[in-house]
Structure 1
């Protein structure tokens, strides 16, 4: 289903998601009906049952009875069992068919034992031994069903609230778009009908219907709901826009580059959906605990029943102990403990431009001790400005050097190219045409200009090839933090261009934040060592943790090297030439904005190009892990105390845990787990 279909099918999707959630977290609890309505009807039906219950006499509370009142209680209790208890019975049948009895089976056993024993007591007291005193469990049956339904209702609301990131994203896209035909006529079409290369009109204040490139108009665009970027971003002709973002005051014409499944929003939604489905190690632990709990609870319940019946000879008391254990040991809260946290975490991440592709990365992040970062684009802005250019050869003037640089760089998207082309424009040099231009990974470009073989190369290439150059000039500009590139003609260095990059304002905060978390920041760069050390010194990165003059393949080797030293390593890069090292690292973090993010190689994608988002990710990961641990304890830890109490271990000192109180404790643990998951947040 693509994102456009989703926009039109919110209600249907909500129902589907609720069914899926119940299927996952309630032993195939499909077709539960309206939980809220079921709860309120059951609660109303429970009130007379509780008022008419003999249990109130034991509690020294006023009771009510009238001729035939026992029959009223029986009829209402039967209604409660078959109506209010239906979801649990259906869920138990599905679990048993799947040969995986879990929480629904326990609840169904608890309410079934309560109900059918109460029928037995009614028959005994009214037909076999009139005026007998066999205690019924109708009161416990009613309260158990009400509390379990309430717990389910709250849980499902929590799941829906946490997992509705997908609906919120789908709702960002408008239902229709205005397409401008080649003859200039405009027509309004459903969003599904918009195709790649269509030109759409986006009016002021309207939502942008699809990914595209602006062909006419100037505006500012609010991408906060899509990327988490809080500022309005100025956009003009040739700039990219993302479907789902909001146009500002200008009117735009946008040529569509991505629709449906190919759109950025659809890719984000797919990531969120995949992350919510993927199982992490914490969830695996929860499933194992829940599975064991079923067998432990049933075994302890049966042993307790046999022991108490043998010790006291009181069948009713022994049965009551068994029912209480089966009620209180139900691990439904445990089944939801991790999924609720993950759904909430994924939703928060998506709203803050942190996209989780591999859920396990959130748990692994707490063990990180090294973060490797590419310098250009991560720590520095990548906005290179030419600081100097000159010639070392009489056949080239300094302007010729710049012109030939620009000729080779004309069709490159590398950040260095942009700075050179801007400088050529500023200097008004005539840029000749270059032929046969080839990109050489980790080195530069080669091509021919005016029939002469030219090449742009970095210092490492010159050293490797034994090509001579003016070391003093290079040293002078490099110590000022400039990247120096060389123009080669027939493999001779004939000139250079020095370009300076700006450190991002938030980079220092990132490095300080990593150190505060006892994580070592490591810089990787293809630049020469001098430039790298200038940046490292300004940021506070130790010289030993600076690796310069690297080719893309070298980065993966450095990741391996740190891992071999028993370090847990995160690699931060642009996701394109850093793909091997991103994939190799324990956690790969791709940093970059919009549709150009390479989603496939990273575990985490930071949509914005802000270094501080790495700290936001670490904060989210830490808080997510903490909530998972808390919920595992809330979901299962209470059993350590509750099961022994339910078995009657403190009966000799006068404390016996009733089935009703058992139901209250079980319901409370489930509600606590749901509420605790919702308190997950990150401080930016």
Structure 2
């Protein structure tokens, strides 16, 4: 089983960065490439003219053209490598975008400049214009843009690795002679007998053949209550065993195991979602086809008019180079850098840039209950005295005496409550676990028991129905204290709803976004929370595959969905949704599967994210118009569309326009603000 998990660990399926940039492409460190390329570019900028125009700070010396050629060659193959590799990937997928547009610009610049260098050496009296200056500035600006974006947006960690880490490295196997031996997890096979002690992680899917216990499956299935398990019940690998020792027969290892199937779902969802095309890629794809078409048309038309192959070729090259997306390459990264900085100050970590672009027209937000709308931990919500023989503090001291040594979530909730209220529990003797019932023991010379609802019914003890209903409607778990065979108190424990959750749901509705609650909890608990919060659509008793399937079904109907969750059971649906938002206090697996992380675990931060994303997208579109606007204007002018009227765009003017558009997109990005 471990071998399968290790195999999964090394198969990350990270989302695409802008312009076809994928983490799995191993293109090197952008920061390092930028600084080294900048060192190479500075001499080129000083020693070569800008589109044939000598700038005031430029100079030459005998052999300087050779220095420029050598530096430009190193720069093209070293600094340009990420874009050439990215273009190859885009063309392989038959989807040219930003990488292809950049690759076209730097390739044409370099090879035409090499041609110009050779021609200038052979015929020095007939100067041919080179584009080494443009090559250097384009590579440096594009590397800067990608470095800014990758620096601003967190790299996705490997959620699959975090899932593998849920399982122990070693397990306790019981052989045919009944002897216990420790073996590696990868050695486990179906039908093996394994021993699982209290507090251990259950190493594989199986069926209990001996013993009984309570199991915390919340991290895997999302069910917030502990589940009582006894002989012939199924257990899931990755869940945590409670207070009983059990023996299981293994039913699922490797790819057949439940956790492995969840991992497969996450991987598939991430892979399919990574096909989302960014706004800048869409614009770049359009510009690529326009530049290619206009460039070849310019060559043909100028060849027909002038009968001069060299002039026609130079005009085509000018079109290709002017189409280079200097401003477009910075338009989105600068906005992303600004937006993620603002987000971090407001408790949001933006992990994938597509999240900021997908908010437009969002229709549904799927909300996991436990940990998202509720606190995600059991706490005492009520203590009801059923007799006059004991007061409230005495009751809690007795309950605490039995629960003091237990390690299940209910016990932890009770002991935390006693600690918060400065109540010191009594000492218990002869504590015994009553299988499927509760606990019993001797406290202060009295026999006491803490039992569940079924045991109260079996003993024919009466409890006020209205009293129970008040707590059951809120999805609470009820336990009963029996002292000397007398029903003494009722203790309610529940996963309390977050204070601002109700207001948060109302705000979503005002934004015309429909909240949908998804939970692994039972129908009664789900209904109670949904009614209290005002959520009309909700689904209960869900497994991870159920949550993902619900999101898939909404998407199949053309509905745009966002998912918010915190558990491993949420990982596939976080990866599947258009935007996945993880609660920062949740599991690493959920965080790694998400696009956005709420560091403060406050649902209201989702509203801040929605506002920021809308403003960010608006800035992106503005910058894309400024960046692409330069190309829309310059490409036809560079092709010579106004030549019949005596106007032909000079390369120098084209360079000035390019610089102005770059300055404008930078300034516009800095104006992004959000209301606090």
Length-normalised TM-score, structure 2: 0.57
Which residue, 575, 588, 593 being the options, matches 2:585? 593
Q: CA deviation at 1:37?
A: 4.4
Contact 1:387 1:500 in 2 (8 A): no
How far residue 641 of structure 1 moved from its aligned partner, in angstroms, is 3.7
> For 1:638 and 1:520, how far apart are their aligned partners in 2?
40
459, 483, 487: which one pairs with 2:480? 487
Structure 1 counterpart of 2:167: none
Alignment match of 2:302 (pick from 295, 308, 321) = 308
In structure 1, the residue matched to 2:320 is: 326
Q: Deviations over 1:530-573 (max 9, x none)?
A: 99769965xxx4363467xx5564x9757755764544444434
- Residue number in structure 1 paired with 2:597: 605
Q: Does the alignment pair 1:88 with 2:76?
A: yes
Q: What is the aligned partner in structure 2 of residue 517 from structure 1?
A: 511
Identify the match of residue 659 of structure 1 among 651, 663, 666.
651
Provide structure 2 residue ranges, at least 5 long, that are not aligned to the other structure.
1-20, 89-99, 156-269
1:211-230 aligned within 5 A: none
The CA deviation at 1:662 is 3.0
Instruction: Note if 1:45 corresponds to 2:42.
Output: no
The residue that corresponds to 1:106 in the other structure is 105
Question: 1: CA distance between counterparts of 2:589 and 2:334?
Answer: 28
Counterpart CA distance in 1 for 2:458 and 2:340 is 47
**Counterpart in 1 of 2:534?**
542
The two structures have a TM-score, normalised by structure 1, of 0.57
Separation in 2 of the partners of 1:339 and 1:466? 69
Which residues of 2 match residues 110-509 of structure 1 at below 5 A? 110=109, 112-113=111-112, 116-117=115-116, 120=119, 126=125, 136-138=127-129, 141=130, 145-146=132-133, 149-150=136-137, 152-164=139-151, 280-281=274-275, 283=277, 290=284, 297-298=291-292, 300-314=294-308, 317-331=311-325, 349=343, 352-355=346-349, 360-374=354-368, 377-379=371-373, 381=375, 384-391=379-386, 399=394, 403-404=398-399, 407-408=402-403, 411-412=406-407, 414=409, 417-419=412-414, 422-423=417-418, 426=422, 430=426, 432=428, 434-436=431-433, 446-449=438-441, 457=452, 469-475=463-469, 483=476, 485-487=478-480, 495-498=489-492, 504-507=498-501, 509=503
Q: Distance in 1 between matches of 2:411 and 2:29?
A: 57
Residues in 1 aligned to 2:404 and 2:572: alpha-carbon distance in whole angstroms: 26
Deviation at 1:325, TM superposition (A): 0.7
In the alignment, the residues of structure 2 paired with residue 403 and residue 593 of structure 1 have an alpha-carbon distance, to the nearest angstrom, of 33
Give the direction of change, closer, same or farther, for the CA distance of 1:394–1:32 in structure 2 (3 Å limit). closer
CA contact (8 A) 2:396 2:425 kept: no
Q: Secondary structure at the match of 1:486?
A: strand
**Partner of 2:638 in structure 1?**
646
Q: Would the aligned equivalents of 2:37 and 2:79 in 1 still touch at CA under 8 Å? A: no
Would you say the 8 A contact 1:371–1:519 is kept in 2? yes
Q: 1:327: Cα distance to partner?
A: 1.3
Unaligned runs of 5+ in 1: 1-18, 54-62, 64-70, 127-133, 169-275
Structure 1: distance between partners of 2:308 and 2:530: 81
Name the CA distance, whole Å, in 1 between partners of 2:135 and 2:510: 45
SS in 2 for 1:310: helix
Contact between 1:484 and 1:496, CA under 8 Å: does it hold in 2? no
- Give the secondary-structure state (helix, strand or coil) at the position aligned to 1:661: helix
Render the CA deviation track for 1:112-133: whole Å, top value 9, x for unaligned: 536745874786684xxxxxxx
- Give CA-to-partner distance per residue, 1:128-162, whole Å, 9 cap, x none: xxxxxx6x454xx4xx5445544544554454455
Say which SS state the counterpart of residue 109 (structure 1) adopts. Answer: helix
CA deviation string 1:148-191 (max 9, x = no partner): 544544554454455446999xxxxxxxxxxxxxxxxxxxxxxx
Shift of 1:648: 0.9
State the distance in 2 between where 1:658 and 1:431 align: 92
Return closer, same or farther for 1:463/1:422 CA change in 2, 3 Å cut-off: same
Per the TM alignment, residue 652 of structure 1 is displaced from its structure 2 partner at its CA by 1.6
CA-based RMSD of the aligned residues comes to 5.8
Distance 1:328 1:494 in 2: 85
SS at match of 2:647: coil
SS of the residue corresponding to residue 609 of structure 1 reads: coil
Alpha-carbon distance in structure 1 between the residues aligned to 2:32 and 2:390 = 80
Q: Give, in angstroms, the shift of residue 297 of structure 1.
A: 3.6
What's the CA shift for 1:337? 5.7
Question: 1 CA distance for matches of 2:316 and 2:586?
Answer: 58
